[in-house]
Amino acid sequence: GAVVSQHPSRVICKSGTSVKIECRSLDFQATTMFWYRQFPKKSLMLMATSNEGSKATYEQGVEKDKFLINHASLTLSTLTVTSAHPEDSSFYICSASSGLSSPLHFGNGTRLTVT
Amino acid sequence: DQQVKQNSPSLSVQEGRISILNCDYTNSMFDYFLWYKKYPAEGPTFLISISSIKDKNEDGRFTVFLNKSAKHLSLHIVPSQPGDSAVYFCAARKGGGADGLTFGKGTHLIIQP
């Protein structure tokens, strides 16, 4: 079945530094990938839609200059948290679909801790 | 504005019995509904889905029912097993899949032996 790989699974960084999270679709091509964020005991919130070959579409309230998304190929999207602050600490999850009529499959998530 | 609602934060069911998880939605543009299972510190795992043109979809122990007029769907798990203990998210999609999913807040299902 379709598999989405996300790396790293955990990262701890100092305030002010940048962190890059990778999301790969392993056995299918994904023209669109989605990035979600989950706060403790909360639902998954869609942050942005990553489109291969074009700019990402951000949800209201998400700072595009802080959360840089690059969809470099049909199998790779990256999320870079720039100038991270403690409030950016969260669980970030990417997802992709192999087709419009197919369900979204999720990566295993990245636990980001900013100290 | 919570477009997908799971009003039960937790549910406890005895092993072997039926688990029924409920979900309500407000946006009539949603045309595809999904259930995901999630363990802590892991990404959600897809369980089962249903298109808005159907009212029931079954896959093994999992059945999803959709009542469009009531804007309500439910996930039935029977018989419930200890490994089913997890958080279950209801999700909805519109636009034929071009948009991301909208999730409910989840229901923590606890299967008791």
The tens digit of pLDDT for each residue in A66-110 reads 999 998 888 999 999 999 999 999 999 999 877 666 778 889 899
Q: Do A46 and B101 touch (CB under 8 A)?
A: yes
Instruction: Tell me which residue in A42, A102, A109 faces B43 most closely, judged by beta carbons.
Output: A109
Query: pLDDT (tens digit, 9 = 90+) per residue, B85-104?
Result: 999 999 998 866 556 788 99
Distance of CA B105 to the CA centre of its chain: 11
Percent of chain A whose predicted confidence (pLDDT) is above 90: 60
Angstrom distance (rounded) from CA A43 to CA A110: 16
Percent of chain A whose predicted confidence (pLDDT) is above 70: 95
Strand partners, A10: A111
> Is pLDDT of B67 > 70?
yes
Q: Does A93 touch chain B (CB under 8 A)?
A: yes
Q: Which residue has the tokens 């379709």?
A: A2
At residue B40 the predicted structure's pLDDT band, cuts being 50, 70 and 90, is confident
Strand partners, A32: A51
C-alpha distance from B96 to closest chain A C-alpha (Å): 6
At residue A2 the predicted structure's pLDDT band, cuts being 50, 70 and 90, is low
> Is pLDDT of B12 > 90?
yes
Q: Do A103 and B34 touch (CB under 8 A)?
A: yes
Instruction: Tell me which residue in B91, B96, B101 faces A100 most closely, judged by beta carbons.
Output: B96
Half-sphere exposure of A98 (CA within 13 A, CB side): 10
Instruction: Tell me which residue in B97, B98, B105 faces A43 most closely, judged by beta carbons.
Output: B105
Q: Do B104 and A91 touch (CB under 8 A)?
A: no
Q: Mutate which of A10, A43, A51, A91 to test chain B, going by most B C-beta atoms within 10 A?
A: A43
> Is pLDDT of A43 > 90?
no
Q: Does A31 touch chain B (CB under 8 A)?
A: no
Bridge pairing between strands A10-13 and A110-114: parallel
Q: Does A3 touch chain B (CB under 8 A)?
A: no
